[in-house]
Amino acid sequence: MELSNQQILACLKKGTPFAVAAILSHKGSTPRTSGSRMIVLPDGTILGTIGGGLVEATVRDTCMELIPKNTCRIRSFTLNQELKAGLDMVCGGSLTVLMETLVPSPELISVFQALVDQARAGKKGTLVSRVSGSPEGEFFLEKSLVLPDGTAIGPCAVPGPLMDDLCRNRFSGTFPTVHSMGLEQFIIQPMPPADTLFIFGAGHVGFQLAQLAHFTGLATVVIDDRKEFVNEKRFPHARHIRVVPDFVNVFDGLEIDGHAYIVILTRGHLHDQTVLEQALKTAPAYIGMIGSRTKRNKIYDNLMKKGVFKEQLNTVYSPVGLSIGAQTPAEISISIMAEIIGVRAGQHAR
Q: How far apart are CA 339 and CA 348, in angstroms?
A: 7
Q: Would you say residue 239 has pLDDT above 80?
A: yes
User: What pLDDT does residue 109 have?
Assistant: 97
- Give me the amino acid identity at 100: E
Based on the fold, state whether residues 129 and 204 are members of the same structural domain: no
Higher pLDDT, 30 or 48: 48
Based on the fold, state whether residues 59 and 184 are members of the same structural domain: no
Q: Indicate the pairing of strand 219-224 with strand 240-243.
A: parallel
Structure confidence by residue, pLDDT tens digits, 98-129: 999 999 999 999 999 999 998 888 888 999 99
Based on the fold, state whether residues 15 and 97 are members of the same structural domain: yes
| Mean pLDDT (the chain, rounded) | 91
Structure confidence by residue, pLDDT tens digits, 70-97: 999 999 988 765 444 444 444 568 889 9
Based on the fold, state whether residues 251 and 318 are members of the same structural domain: yes
Based on the fold, state whether residues 114 and 251 are members of the same structural domain: no
User: What pLDDT does residue 119 have?
Assistant: 84
pTM score: 0.76
In a domain, 349, yes or no: no
**End position of a domain, from candidates 62, 77, 102:** 102
User: What pLDDT does residue 89 have?
Assistant: 45
The one-character DSSP state at 143 is: E
Based on the fold, state whether residues 124 and 232 are members of the same structural domain: no
Report the candidate in 288, 140, 131 with the shortest Cα–Cα distance to residue 206.
288
**End position of a domain, from candidates 164, 191, 218:** 191
In a domain, 350, yes or no: no
How many domains does the chain contain in total?
A: 3
Q: How far apart are CA 104 and CA 101, in angstroms?
A: 10
Q: Indicate the pairing of strand 37-40 with strand 240-243.
A: unpaired
> Contact 36/95 with Cβ under 8 angstroms?
no
User: What pLDDT does residue 1 have?
Assistant: 53
Based on the fold, state whether residues 249 and 176 are members of the same structural domain: no
Based on the fold, state whether residues 180 and 208 are members of the same structural domain: no
Based on the fold, state whether residues 114 and 209 are members of the same structural domain: no
In a domain, 160, yes or no: yes
Q: Which 3-state string (H, E, C) describes 243-259?
A: ECCCCCCCCCCCCCCCC
> Contact 87/103 with Cβ under 8 angstroms?
no
Based on the fold, state whether residues 133 and 65 are members of the same structural domain: no
Determine which of 127-136, 258-267, 307-316 has the lowest per-residue pLDDT on average.
127-136
Angle at alpha carbon of residue 189, lines to 185 and 190, rounded to 5°: 135
Based on the fold, state whether residues 141 and 52 are members of the same structural domain: no
**End position of a domain, from candidates 47, 71, 102:** 102
Based on the fold, state whether residues 139 and 231 are members of the same structural domain: no
Higher pLDDT, 333 or 4: 333
CATH of the domain at 200: 3.40.50.720
Q: What is the mean pLDDT of residues 308-328?
A: 96
Q: Would you say residue 67 has pLDDT above 80?
A: yes
Q: What is the mean pLDDT of residues 230-246?
A: 93
Q: Would you say residue 322 has pLDDT above 50?
A: yes
Structure confidence by residue, pLDDT tens digits, 168-220: 888 877 788 889 988 899 999 998 877 899 999 999 999 999 999 998 989 99
Question: What percent of the chain has a predicted confidence (pLDDT) above 70?
Answer: 95
Domain that holds residue 95: 5-102
The one-character DSSP state at 218 is: -
Q: What is the mean pLDDT of residues 228-252?
A: 94
